[in-house]
Chain A
Amino acid sequence: EPEVTQTPSHQVTQMGQEVILRCVPISNHLYFYWYRQILGQKVEFLVSFYNNEISEKSEIFDDQFSVERPDGSNFTLKIRSTKLEDSAMYFCASSEALPETTNEKLFFGSGTQLSVL
């Protein structure tokens, strides 16, 4: 079964440093997402991306966050200046669904555990 791949699986960084989390979505998918989950809390939506632009973002996704699809396969999340509270598991997801449909099925990666010290 095709899967979403995320690298690295763990990332440790110092507060104030920039990090880039990488994802390879399923190849024929059109929608891409980033979610995060702080330990013990629920999965939170960050951003969705379609047709090379952000289609929706949450209030969490402030100016320190950015996303990019630099080539035909990778989808990245950049955090410009990390804070302690950015420590979380970050999940990338992709889906085939187009905006007009409602029956989205998201495929999630295994996540990148980000620890900000």
Chain B
Amino acid sequence: LAKTTQPISMDSYEGQEVNITCSHNNIATNDYITWYQQFPSQGPRFIIQGYKTKVTNEVASLFIPADRKSSTLSLPRVSLSDTAVYYCLVGDPLGGGYNKLIFGAGTRLAVHP
């Protein structure tokens, strides 16, 4: 069972780059790392997913070192609308299948003007 650890909260200002690091020391060989974003009173929303090295999309970048024991979500030039809770998840194997994702407490990011 790959457990994740991430900071409870972070503060930033508009226009800054924000990096949220997640530790997952027990990640399994076949596990992917996935980040979700959740705004108040909404369901989590997929942001980015990766297995190793670096992944970039229109929203964020994900950096994964060679040992895969951690990952860093990078949000370039945040705005007030990026204020949300960010969850780092890894696959949770049950027997032969991977059929649920377990959310931790997440990182509550507050972006200030």
**Size class of the contact patch on chain B:** 20 to 34
Most-contacted residue by chain A among B43, B100, B103 (CB, 10 A): B43
Point out which of A31, A43, A97 has the most chain B C-beta atoms below 10 A from its C-beta: A43
Q: What residues on A are CB-neighbors of B93 within 8 Å?
A: 102
Please determine whether B97 and A110 come into contact, CB atoms closer than 8 angstroms. no
Chain B at the A interface: mostly helix, strand, loop or mixed? loop
> CB-defined interface of A48-68 with B at 8 Å, one 1/0 digit per residue?
101000011000000000000
Residues A105 and B91 in contact in the complex (CB < 8 Å), given A43-B44, A43-B103, A48-B99: no
Indicate if the CB atoms of B101 and A55 lie closer than 8 Å. no
> Which residue of chain A is the closest to B42 with respect to CB atoms?
A110
- Kindly state whether residue B49 has any CB partner on chain A within 8 Å: yes
